[in-house]
Amino acid sequence: MQRIEHRACFGGWQHVYRHTSATLDGEATFAVYLPPQAEQRACPVLYWLSGLTCTEQNFITKAGAQRYAAEHGVILVAPDTSPRGPGVADADAYDLGQGAGFYVDATQAPWASHYRMFDYVSNELPALIEAQFPATRARAISGHSMGGHGALVVALKNPGRYRSVSAFSPIVAPSEVPWGQKAFAAYLGEDREAWKAWDASALVANATERLPLLVDQGEADEFLSTQLRPDRLREACEAAGHPLDLRLRPGYDHSYYFIASFIGEHIAHHAAALKG
């Protein structure tokens, strides 16, 4: 690994690293915040997955999460949102290609050789974190928008691996909305039945673990009715008897102002589960 950023923050350290990923077949970047407690003992880890067009920088510079991670003694890990580099397939659109990995394992050319963000987030990155940093095997996961979709899907497809999961403004039914349909058709092909394996609203029907889902959604979000559709997740959870705490926040939009307003509540939620 190569450390490319190192900054003191709330008594701990905000790092950014670059490494060669076997899963993504190229270089990958991730941020890791080590709270002050990590100087004395191993700490649990909260993984954060960011949204379309983002890198690891959006979360670590805009959410204000380090303050709460330092308070609760939680390590924060935020990977980039896709593979990147001159040899990595891309598209002339913000919602496909580099910056828009959608946290799936692509099966279609030209994406399949690099776009394996689900495997990277689920397996390679946690193994690296637990081997190289003072991290326990107690894990939680959260994210925003495309990353909220990723967090829900990663948790639902890996029962027993995470103590808790939450999301801000997630794309909860990607098979039914334009963002998800575009990405899934490119990365996974035209078989819509195969898409259900990457759709949180479809996955809850057969979930073998009843891990409670915590979702915050702004009611003034410009993508609420067209891309996010939290009503679909509520309906699916009600039908399956899956626990869901869906919090609709009047006045809040899709931005990091929204995330920064409630990230403290989410980190406290995860810290309680990680230490329980």
Catalytic residues: 145, 221, 254
What residue type is 44 in one-letter code? P
> Helix axis angle, 256-275 relative to 65-72, nearest 10°?
10
What residue type is 56 in one-letter code? E
What is the distance between the alpha carbons of residues 265 and 63, in angstroms, rounded to a whole number? 12
What is the distance between the alpha carbons of residues 53 and 81, in angstroms, rounded to a whole number? 8
What residue type is 170 in one-letter code? P
Neighbours of 61 (CB within 10 A): 11
